[in-house]
Structure 1
Amino acid sequence: MPPQMCNLTNLQTLSDFVLSKNSGSRIKELGALKLLRGSLRISGLENVVDVGDVLEADLKKKECLTELILKWNGGEVDEASKEKELLNALEPHRKLKKLRIEGYRGTIFPDWVANQSFGDMVEVHLEDCRNCCLLPPFKQLPSLRKLDISGMYVSGIENECSGAALTKPFPSLEGLSMNFMYALERWPTGANQEGRFYPCLKHISLCKCDKLNVGLPAGCLPSLETIEIWNCKEMVGVCPASQEIDIAYPSLESIVLNNCEKVESFSEMGWPSPNLKHLKIWYCEKLIANRKNWNLQRLSSLQSLWLSGCEELVVISFPEEGLLPSTLTSITISRCGNLKALNGEGFHHLTSLQHLDIRFCEKVEGLPEEGLPLSLSTLSIEGCPLLSERCQRETGEDWPKIQHIPKIEIDGRKI
């Protein structure tokens, strides 16, 4: 940073205040910048030696700051209690709306983090706080809408969620994301009837939660709209078994599953929502192998289906007759290495289908004898050499079956 930043007493915007090695004491210069507003990042906090310098920064009095980002850039810590003292001294004004803590090296968070007096707080991000084994009680933040936790080694979050003191924990939370939580094994235990937890939760995203065996917490999530689950190796199901599945997720519209190798079914009780509109499955071979038991016909609102990454499965013909609901408007089939044919009997009733995308299915030999639905407006073929040759304009053997389609694209080229 330039020298004597403390002389810029009228400064209002400072995107990043960087503390380099041997200059951690400069954090106290922030004390003179009383007019700072908007977002402030303080980087290099591992270089701070004296907590007294942090207190002089006087973040508590900067009431025009709406976002605070506190960043440690690694390094070993000699005493965890000093790290907690440092973070405690960085307490901001209670009007703060967004908080991000990255690389914090302590084992426990100070009390101000998630204190319910932060009534305006709408977003919290914790990233790579690897020494912490407990989460702050975010459930008591009345306005919190987005919670993003990444790279922490907590095994469960029931201490965070099950407190009986609050009648409605997480009263405003809309988005919950947990990524690279390698030790996370369980969702909170206890009742969640009638949406007592997460009454406003719309989106759940999980990635690399290697020990978590079920994607959703038990109970009713009345506002949940989308689920995204990526690379969860031990997960065996998306929904918990012991609940009334038809009423638990009345608003659910979209499910994305990617690389969850042990998942065989969405739920033992059936589909989590009859209102599902979008289903995207990548590299979940056991689940795709079980597709005949999905009962997709129940999903009278399903519009788009994406199946990808069944390289090892022997899927000779797709889709099987009666497998898909007639409401589908878009289908993508990708990276199914053993797929040889598209089943005309499986397509003939798809009278609403508008978009068909076939990608990297090298063994597909051609289109069904019956042709494709007349409703198709877009056909895209990529990485399917045998099929591509048969669909060339005028010269391809399958051209008469697709010439009615307004937009055809083969290997990135419109024909």
Structure 2
Amino acid sequence: MHDLINDLARNVSKDEYVRVENDKQKKIPPNIRHLSISANLLGGMKKTELRNLRTLIVWKKAWSCLKLSLPDDVFKKSKSIRVLDLNGCCLDRLPTSVEVLKHLRYFAFRVPQRPWQTSLIRLYHLEVLVTRGHSCRESECVNLPANMKRNLLKLRKAFLLNVGGATISGFGGQTLLRGHGEFHVRKESGYRLGELKEMKNISGQLKIRSLENVEHQQEAVNACLDCKEHIEYLELEWSIHARALTCDIDNDVLSALRPHPNLDRLKIIGYGGTRSPSWFEANWLTALSSLALENCMGWVQLPPFGQLPLLKYLELRGMHAVRQIGQEFYGNGDIKGFPILEDMIFDGMLNWDGWSGTEDGSLFPCLERLLVSRCPKLREIPTFSATPRVEVEISPDSPPASCLIESLIATASRLIFLVSSYSFLSDLTTEQLNHVAELNLQNCRDPMPAGGFHRLSSLQVFRISNCSTLLSSVSTEAVDTYLLPPSLCHIEIAQSNVHCSLLPRYLQGLTCLSTLVLNSCHLMTSLSFASESPHLVALESVTIKDCNELASLDGFRNLSALRKLVVADCYNFCSLPADLNIVGSLEKLVICGCPMMRFLPENGLPASVQTVLLSMCHPELDTQLQMKEGAEWNKIVRIPEKKLEVYTALIHLLQLSRPLLFAHLYLYFGGACTNN
């Protein structure tokens, strides 16, 4: 919006609308009706009696969550609020005065840590409810009040966003549910599976838990899942810890839980039956693109999944009863052999010992990735139409048979090993090693082998995670040799003890290396490419995250191909390379979450830089950049794309005049925001 139009809108609406951006703002007029305020200034509201307030929207500028504690009586004098959006702050608990907002139509907030559910049940006029998870902590299931459908009779829309799930047994049939809904089945009234029949307006994701509590097939029939056409993702879960691993009633229950044919993704967990449901055999799920079966330990024979015309992702884990996979798996109709499947995973198939193909070999024409993990009895795989990227996860106690690796090599275009020990490599021939394109070492306690990994002459990607001793020293036998093959293009090191003096040694001779990623390497205090940079002629991207002891970078002068440099969440980082201005290829610079970063390089940035993102650095640097003045601002003023802070989408709405603001909110939330 042009500045003049913005100023005009503010002037026209100044008697009814106020936007508080900083602590220099004058006192909020007591008769104001619509207020938007930065989260860090919200505490000042308790000093003002806003009896006429209709709209309150709290926003934030920073990426990180701003944790606040509001007094319980913060809304006591503002009983006329219709629209309340608290998404801009991370509350420990909701103020008890939320209960007095009897006229509230729209309520949005991030889920507090302490119990808050009782605050909702008295909001009798609520029409739109928006709950969001947090970026600062792991998503968790939200237990919404079970009596909501009795109290919130006017609730028409509920958005359950970025949460691990939300129990939905308390919603009435007229409420549109959008997001991550969960239904936990119990053997008591109000929680039986048949309650889903009235919830006709579910959309997005639905997870049905504790299906072992279904006592009769008719309960599953009453759920009417095949009528719920807007469900995109369905998860059906039986608890494998609550009863025997196999159960005859599960066959009938799963057959009755036939989804709508529009379903896009399906996951079945802990099913105790032995048979496939009839709707798998009948090509019912013609729109299904993703299917996962997990810990269905009694399921003996897999249905013809190859006939699903749009299936792109197939995941089978813990299917212990499956011994053979053959023709019945691919189908025999007009559509067969997984025509567009791209990603296939087999994990924990402990008794699987046979996998046969078809006579014409027309299988998996679009397959891109095959992951085989913890399948100790498998000896060979069939020949595919495509040559996929094959990932093999190897356990130290059950390495794959040599014949399986030979079979994988015959099929794969890229062979990827996910391992916790590299000892099995010594059993492979040179020809077999030449097919290894990617090696992911996780939780490895072995030191670096004397000759390094130089034998893997075709290795392109090397990922190291949580390997405490692998990179902590260099063998005296390897003084005059390169430790890694020159074919490497991509290296990631995470949560591993690599010392700043040793890392350059590992990078010697890597003339093809284009990407280097360091994550949570807490022994790194500095990083210099001064001695090894002549080798790194292809290095284009360097990303360093969560290396809290890292203070400085140096020796970038000879990184002639470097295009992107990212330093994020490194608490002690304070110094970019002094010679960074000489790196004429650099196009993008990102410095985020580095509170000790006070100055940009004295000589400025190279003229080639097109994009710079600076966020959550030292307050002195942040202030200069926000005020667009000072020596540090002058170093980036010519750069075309400067991103200095992150705003939420609502901030842009709040720059509109009052009529336009409510028009946008009305269109988006379906009339929940009213002016009276």
Task: Provide closer, same or farther for how the CA distance between residues 273 and 108 of structure 1 changes in structure 2, counting only shifts above 3 A.
Answer: same
Which of 187, 211, 234 is residue 68 of structure 1 equivalent to? 234
- Verify the 8 A CA contact 1:265 1:287 in the aligned structure 2: no
1:345-356 equivalences in 2 (<5 Å): 347-348=508-509, 350=511, 355=516
CA distance in 1, matches of 2:511, 2:479: 11
Which of 181, 184, 207 is residue 18 of structure 1 equivalent to? 184
- 1:89, distance to aligned residue in structure 2 (A): 1.3
Query: Which residue is equivalent to 2:339?
Result: 171
Normalization by structure 1: what TM-score?
0.69
CA distance in 2, matches of 1:412, 1:50: 61
The answer to whether structure 1 residue 188 and structure 2 residue 326 are counterparts is no
Query: Which residue is equivalent to 1:321?
Result: 481
- 1:356, distance to aligned residue in structure 2 (A): 8.4
CA distance in 2, matches of 1:40, 1:322: 53
1:320-399 equivalences in 2 (<5 Å): 321=481, 324-331=484-491, 347-348=508-509, 350=511, 355=516, 371-374=531-534, 375=536
- 1:90, distance to aligned residue in structure 2 (A): 1.2
- CA distances 1:374-402 after superposition (whole Å, capped 9, x unpaired): 2378698999x9xx9xx999xxxxx9xx5
- Verify the 8 A CA contact 1:31 1:56 in the aligned structure 2: yes
Query: Which residue is equivalent to 1:126?
Result: 293
CA distance in 2, matches of 1:289, 1:96: 50
Which of 229, 236, 248 is residue 393 of structure 2 equivalent to? 229
- Amino acid aligned to 2:462: L
Q: Which has the larger radius of gyration?
A: 2
- CA distances 1:228-284 after superposition (whole Å, capped 9, x unpaired): 626473123688355594x7333x3x724222566326965435759x4x5433467
- Amino acid aligned to 2:346: M
- 1:183, distance to aligned residue in structure 2 (A): 1.5
Task: Provide closer, same or farther for how the CA distance between residues 122 and 162 of structure 1 changes in structure 2, counting only shifts above 3 A.
Answer: closer
Which of 248, 263, 269 is residue 102 of structure 1 equivalent to? 269
Query: Which residue is equivalent to 2:418?
Result: 257
- 1:122, distance to aligned residue in structure 2 (A): 1.0
CA distance in 1, matches of 2:484, 2:508: 8
Which of 417, 441, 444 is residue 281 of structure 1 equivalent to? 441
Query: Which residue is equivalent to 1:92?
Result: 259
- Verify the 8 A CA contact 2:434 2:456 in the aligned structure 1: no
- 1:120, distance to aligned residue in structure 2 (A): 0.9
- CA distances 1:23-56 after superposition (whole Å, capped 9, x unpaired): 3873223334444444333223222222223222
CA distance in 2, matches of 1:81, 1:336: 52
- CA distances 1:321-350 after superposition (whole Å, capped 9, x unpaired): 36654453554678689xx97897992573
- Verify the 8 A CA contact 1:379 1:405 in the aligned structure 2: no
- CA distances 1:349-370 after superposition (whole Å, capped 9, x unpaired): 73757748699899xxxx99x9
CA distance in 2, matches of 1:230, 1:271: 15
- 1:188, distance to aligned residue in structure 2 (A): 0.8
- Secondary structure of 1:29's counterpart equals helix
- Verify the 8 A CA contact 1:296 1:323 in the aligned structure 2: no
CA distance in 2, matches of 1:161, 1:267: 34
- 1:144, distance to aligned residue in structure 2 (A): 1.1
- Verify the 8 A CA contact 2:302 2:329 in the aligned structure 1: no
The answer to whether structure 1 residue 143 and structure 2 residue 330 are counterparts is no
Task: Provide closer, same or farther for how the CA distance between residues 13 and 378 of structure 1 changes in structure 2, counting only shifts above 3 A.
Answer: closer
Task: Provide closer, same or farther for how the CA distance between residues 193 and 270 of structure 1 changes in structure 2, counting only shifts above 3 A.
Answer: farther
CA distance in 2, matches of 1:88, 1:408: 51
Query: Which residue is equivalent to 1:211?
Result: 376
CA distance in 2, matches of 1:174, 1:260: 29
Query: Which residue is equivalent to 2:411?
Result: 248
CA distance in 2, matches of 1:332, 1:7: 46
- Amino acid aligned to 2:337: P
* Residue segments in structure 1 that go unaligned for 5+ positions in a row: 394-398
- Amino acid aligned to 1:99: L
CA distance in 2, matches of 1:238, 1:173: 27
Deviates more, 1:255-264 or 1:43-52: 255-264
CA distance in 2, matches of 1:38, 1:356: 35
- Secondary structure of 1:204's counterpart equals strand
- Amino acid aligned to 2:366: C
Which of 222, 225, 233 is residue 59 of structure 1 equivalent to? 225
- CA distances 1:145-187 after superposition (whole Å, capped 9, x unpaired): 11222333235341476657368422222122234x1514435
Task: Provide closer, same or farther for how the CA distance between residues 42 and 121 of structure 1 changes in structure 2, counting only shifts above 3 A.
Answer: same
Deviates more, 1:283-292 or 1:147-156: 283-292
Deviates more, 1:83-92 or 1:156-165: 156-165
- Secondary structure of 2:432's counterpart equals coil
CA distance in 2, matches of 1:197, 1:19: 40
- Verify the 8 A CA contact 2:390 2:412 in the aligned structure 1: no
Task: Provide closer, same or farther for how the CA distance between residues 353 and 222 of structure 1 changes in structure 2, counting only shifts above 3 A.
Answer: same
- Amino acid aligned to 2:411: A
- Verify the 8 A CA contact 2:420 2:442 in the aligned structure 1: yes
Task: Provide closer, same or farther for how the CA distance between residues 49 and 114 of structure 1 changes in structure 2, counting only shifts above 3 A.
Answer: same
- Amino acid aligned to 2:399: M
Query: Which residue is equivalent to 1:305?
Result: 462
Deviates more, 1:263-272 or 1:165-174: 263-272
Query: Which residue is equivalent to 1:201?
Result: 367
Task: Provide closer, same or farther for how the CA distance between residues 201 and 336 of structure 1 changes in structure 2, counting only shifts above 3 A.
Answer: same
- Amino acid aligned to 1:44: S
- Verify the 8 A CA contact 2:458 2:487 in the aligned structure 1: no
- Amino acid aligned to 1:149: L
Query: Which residue is equivalent to 1:396?
Result: none
Q: CA RMSD in A?
A: 5.1
Query: Which residue is equivalent to 2:163?
Result: none
Task: Provide closer, same or farther for how the CA distance between residues 58 and 272 of structure 1 changes in structure 2, counting only shifts above 3 A.
Answer: farther
Query: Which residue is equivalent to 1:270?
Result: 432
CA distance in 2, matches of 1:333, 1:25: 48
How many residues are aligned here?
A: 389
Task: Provide closer, same or farther for how the CA distance between residues 193 and 17 of structure 1 changes in structure 2, counting only shifts above 3 A.
Answer: same
- Amino acid aligned to 1:177: I
CA distance in 2, matches of 1:382, 1:206: 32
- CA distances 1:291-343 after superposition (whole Å, capped 9, x unpaired): 779744456xx3x4345649599961558736654453554678689xx9789
* Residue segments in structure 2 that go unaligned for 5+ positions in a row: 1-145, 151-168, 560-564, 576-676
Task: Provide closer, same or farther for how the CA distance between residues 372 and 44 of structure 1 changes in structure 2, counting only shifts above 3 A.
Answer: same
- CA distances 1:85-118 after superposition (whole Å, capped 9, x unpaired): 1111111222322212222232333222354232
- Secondary structure of 1:263's counterpart equals helix
